[in-house]
């Protein structure tokens, strides 16, 4: 077992929403070859990126997440709209937005932060948490005008709605082909039934 694991907490997506995100990635890819697109199986909403976590602390992280999430009720999440960080003139990260459910995700993020900081498993980020799904990252200093225009045309894009029923703790192993995510634990929201 490795000494430490790149670890993060994320919301998994239902297949229908993931399929629409992949179709959008393919459409945007026609405008720019300079984007490294997130692999379909890796699309998710990142709640907290913990970085390198000592392997002995992973169980503590999983139990902490289960304790926080187990006290919350499932909620609706609507995936709609696309944009980029830091701004449309210089897109670096392409994302899909969260409309409904954004407030609940921010509250969940806040609820997870404090106990994980107290256990020494997380350092608060300087920028505010903005719920989104990363679709891709622009490589290098390439011309992104066509991509920026395509993003503007897709401003009203809609992927669908789902119910958030569980949160995953995942590890990320960096490989040549791209990162490989492994689910370390699934924390179900209270009364979450299939």
Question: Which amino acids are annotated catalytic?
Answer: 44, 132
Signed CA dihedral, 166, 22, 7, 138: sign only? negative
Residue 165 DSSP symbol: -
d(CA 48, CA 45): 9
CA distances from 181 to 25, 39, 102, 173 (A): 20, 10, 24, 6
Paired residues of 168 in beta bridges: 10, 186
Going by C-alpha positions, the residue among 34, 14, 15, 5 that lies closest to residue 136 is 34
């Amino acid at each position: 077992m490795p000494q430490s694991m790149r670890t993060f907490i994320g919301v998994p997506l239902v297949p229908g929403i993931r399929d629409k995100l992949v179709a959008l990635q393919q459409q945007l890819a026609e405008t720019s070859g300079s984007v490294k697109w997130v692999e379909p199986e890796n699309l998710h909403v990142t709640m907290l990126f913990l970085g390198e976590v000592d392997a002995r602390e992973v169980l503590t992280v999983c139990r902490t997440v289960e304790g926080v999430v187990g006290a919350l009720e499932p909620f609706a999440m609507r995936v709609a709209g696309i944009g980029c960080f830091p701004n449309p003139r210089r897109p670096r990260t392409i994302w899909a937005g969260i409309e409904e459910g954004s407030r609940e995700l921010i509250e969940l993020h806040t609820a997870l932060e404090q106990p994980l900081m107290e256990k020494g498993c997380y350092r608060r980020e300087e920028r505010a948490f903005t719920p989104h799904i990363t679709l891709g990252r622009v490589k290098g200093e390439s011309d992104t005008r066509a991509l920026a225009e395509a993003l503007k045309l897709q401003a009203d894009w809609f992927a669908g709605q789902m119910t958030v029923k569980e949160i995953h703790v995942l590890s990320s192993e960096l490989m040549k082909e791209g990162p490989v995510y492994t689910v370390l634990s699934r924390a179900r929201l209270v009364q979450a039934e299939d």
